[in-house]
């Protein structure tokens, strides 16, 4: 057992794309749990686009990470010391902790995982926060009906890939938008989307219109920018837009203007901003629903793994550039024994 805890703290607020120089690697002793607490060693660290918001001091839905504070993030870890009833060394847990090799957490913030279930990393992606986001967005806002057309941006990512597969299960025509031929091929052939538009090489307006001959009934928004602008004119009467992310603008100091909202009246569009933590009950619901689908292979996913905590800043930059393929993970420590 390693007696030193390593952690990445925020050194300064990045201008534009974040990088390693924006963080400091610190070393401290592994903490000891007090009553009700658990100490874990990190196995997997999740890297997600929302993290860019935590680095800036712009007002958002939660406070930013303080300068000098450990960067936050979801992890899967193994309990190495416990002073909490119901948790013992060797247990594997998922929770919102930080960019660190060891975490001290109140036990009630952790969820114990089945070590004989799906791969542990999936609890950060397809079965975790991103998958639950897709599930809640489609269930609570999208309400897709058979025969409708659904467009999903960032379609090969951990949110978009689940959103689109759920829409396929609901009997919709599903069109993805992704960056590059390789991702588009995977979105169509492996995920089973009906079509996929490559935003790097295609004229978005033209390609989307061709892929959506009956217009768009549901748009799962993960990127903003040019994709959003191309989708809006194709929205149908009574369409729904799940406003989940706008990764295209997360590095912008001043986000660009958006769409004139007149289309919302003409088409009676519903747009709803979502944050998965507003509906905490959806996490367990989704794990119970989707774990069997992951085990039987009917719910597909893809992961990009980078080794070593110190590479987390680069992993985040990759996500913000769309350089990842599927769920971005940092392997911080060896798998559970």
User: Could you tell me where the DSSP H helices lie in 104-152?
Assistant: 129-137
Residue 16 interacts with a copy of itself (CB under 8 A): yes or no:
no
Residue of the chain from 28, 109, 201, 272 that contacts a copy of itself (CB under 8 A): 272
Residue 237 binds a copy of itself, judged by CB under 8 A: yes
Stretch that binds a copy of itself, among 69-77, 146-154, 270-278, 308-316 (CB under 8 A): 270-278
CA of residue 322 relative to chain centroid, distance: 13
- Asked whether position 213 contacts a copy of itself by CB under 8 A, the answer is no
The Cα–Cα gap between 118 and 112 comes to 13
CA dihedral for 248, 207, 217, 131, sign (positive or negative): negative
Task: List all residues 6 or more positions away from 337 whose beta carbon is below 8 Å from its beta carbon.
Answer: 78, 90
Site string for a copy of itself, 166-205 (x = CB under 8 A): ----------------------------------------
One of 76, 204, 246, 306 touching a copy of itself (CB under 8 A)? 246
Helix (H, G, I), strand (E, B) or coil at 168: helix
Per CB under 8 A, 265 contacts a copy of itself:
yes
CB-wise, 11 or 143, nearer to a copy of itself?
A: 143
Q: List the one residue from 189, 278, 280, 284 that touches a copy of itself (CB under 8 A).
A: 278
CA distance 43 to 268: 46
- Nearest residue (CB) to a copy of itself, 190 versus 272: 272
Binding residue for a copy of itself (CB under 8 A) from 34, 275, 284, 288? 275
Report d(CA 58, CA 263) in Å as an integer. 29
> Toward a copy of itself, which CB reaches closer, 36 or 215?
215
**Which among 102-110, 130-138, 271-279, 282-290 is the span making contact with a copy of itself, rule CB under 8 A?**
271-279
Answer yes or no: are the C-beta atoms of 28 and 51 closer than 8 Å: no
Q: Which of 115, 129, 120 is nearest to 286 (CA)?
A: 129
What's the gap between Cα 68 and its chain centre?
A: 25
Does 262 bind a copy of itself (CB under 8 A)? Our answer is yes
């Amino acid at each position: 057992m390693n007696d030193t805890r390593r952690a990445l703290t925020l050194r300064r607020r990045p201008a534009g794309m974040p990088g390693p120089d924006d963080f400091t690697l610190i070393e401290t002793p592994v903490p000891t749990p007090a009553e009700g607490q658990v100490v874990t060693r990190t196995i997997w660290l999740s890297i997600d686009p929302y993290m860019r918001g935590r680095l800036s001091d712009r007002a958002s839905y939660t406070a930013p990470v303080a300068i000098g504070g450990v960067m936050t993030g979801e992890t899967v870890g193994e309990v190495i010391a416990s002073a909490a009833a119901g948790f013992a060394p060797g247990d594997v847990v998922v929770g919102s902790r930080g960019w660190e090799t060891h975490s001290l957490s109140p036990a009630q913030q952790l969820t114990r995982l089945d070590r004989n279930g799906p791969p542990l990393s999936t609890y950060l992606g397809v079965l975790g926060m991103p998958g639950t986001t897709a599930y809640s967005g489609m269930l609570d806002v999208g309400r897709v009906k058979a025969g409708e057309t659904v467009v999903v941006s960032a379609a090969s990512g951990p949110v978009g890939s689940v959103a689109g597969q759920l829409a396929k299960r609901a009997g919709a025509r599903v069109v993805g938008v992704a960056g590059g031929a390789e991702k588009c091929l995977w979105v169509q052939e492996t995920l089973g989307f009906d079509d996929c538009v490559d935003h790097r090489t295609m004229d978005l307006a033209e390609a989307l219109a061709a892929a959506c001959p009956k217009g768009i009934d549901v748009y799962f928004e993960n990127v903003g920018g040019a994709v959003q602008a191309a989708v809006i004119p194709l929205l149908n009467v009574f369409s729904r837009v799940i406003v989940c992310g706008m990764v295209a603008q997360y590095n912008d100091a001043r986000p660009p203007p958006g769409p004139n909202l007149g289309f919302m009246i003409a088409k009676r569009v519903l747009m709803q901003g979502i944050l998965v933590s507003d509906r905490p009950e959806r996490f367990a619901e989704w794990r119970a629903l989707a774990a069997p689908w992951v085990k039987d292979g009917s719910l597909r996913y893809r992961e990009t793994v980078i080794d070593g905590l110190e590479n987390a800043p680069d992993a985040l930059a990759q996500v913000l550039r769309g350089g990842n393929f599927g769920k971005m993970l940092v392997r911080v420590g060896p798998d559970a024994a």
